[in-house]
Structure 1
Amino acid sequence: MLDLVLCEIEPPEGMRRGLQTTVVDRTQLVAIAPPAVQPAADWKNVGFAHYRPSSAYRWEVSTFLDAHGLQPRIVAESDDSLFLVEVSVRSPCVAIVPRSAAKEALLDGRVRVIAELESGGVAVHALYQDNIAAGLTRSAVEILVRAHSEPAAVV
């Protein structure tokens, strides 16, 4: 039996019987593009590496695109954020990914941030048993939450 599971989708209430859930960290999504890519105001002139419909990020990204009237041409779909970063670098096109997934490409200057999404429902959730024996796991989750709530250098 697993003591602790970290996941990006919070399980529905009905599936949480006997489990505790804690948000460890909110995921900051950013739109990235190589330095040479200059999206038009509506992004119609750029390709877009998107998440597949089954991804936890798809709804957040689609909502952002719709809310801002952005209509890029979808050139790739994947559930893998690191793959989407590489598609953006090599295609070149725009991708919206967790900032942490784009960290190296941002530091290397292979991409730049062209937009930041409001923190929505995307988060890392810790799931663990809700019983007396789960004390050690609960302590570990509390340490994770504290570590992610401390200020960190932003790329």
Structure 2
Amino acid sequence: MDCIFCSIVTGEKPGHLVLADATAVAFLDARPLFPGHVLVVPRRHVHTLTDLPEREVGPLFARVRRVAGAVERGMGAAGSLVAANNRVSQSVPHFHVHVVPRNRKDGLRGFLWPRTRYASQEEAEAVAARVRAALDEDPGEGGGTG
């Protein structure tokens, strides 16, 4: 397998590590949006969040939480953006979570925009119904609304 993130996880390739344990490795993004932009990756090679076994999601996001706090404190940031892509716009096919330090008026635009509105309440309910139906098809925990 030729995965740059796996090579960083194993130490085969260099990375500016900020956290490494049995669950995850976190390192500076080589092309940061801002200094302190960190990627948190599971040690296990999986392409997307939906490929990560459910029992590993909580432990991974516990590391993301720790890194987000450290990035904010370490970079003197007012907050952070925590985001992940699944397939579309995923430049490396190894699941990773971006933790980006943020400050008001920092110039970051277009990351999650433009935003739109549903044409009607009926359209919004139809979309919600499609997602609920897909949750009901999911063999994992938690489907539906209760």
Pick the TM interval, shorter chain: under 0.3
**TM-score by structure 1 length?**
0.24
Q: TM-score, normalized by length of structure 2?
A: 0.25
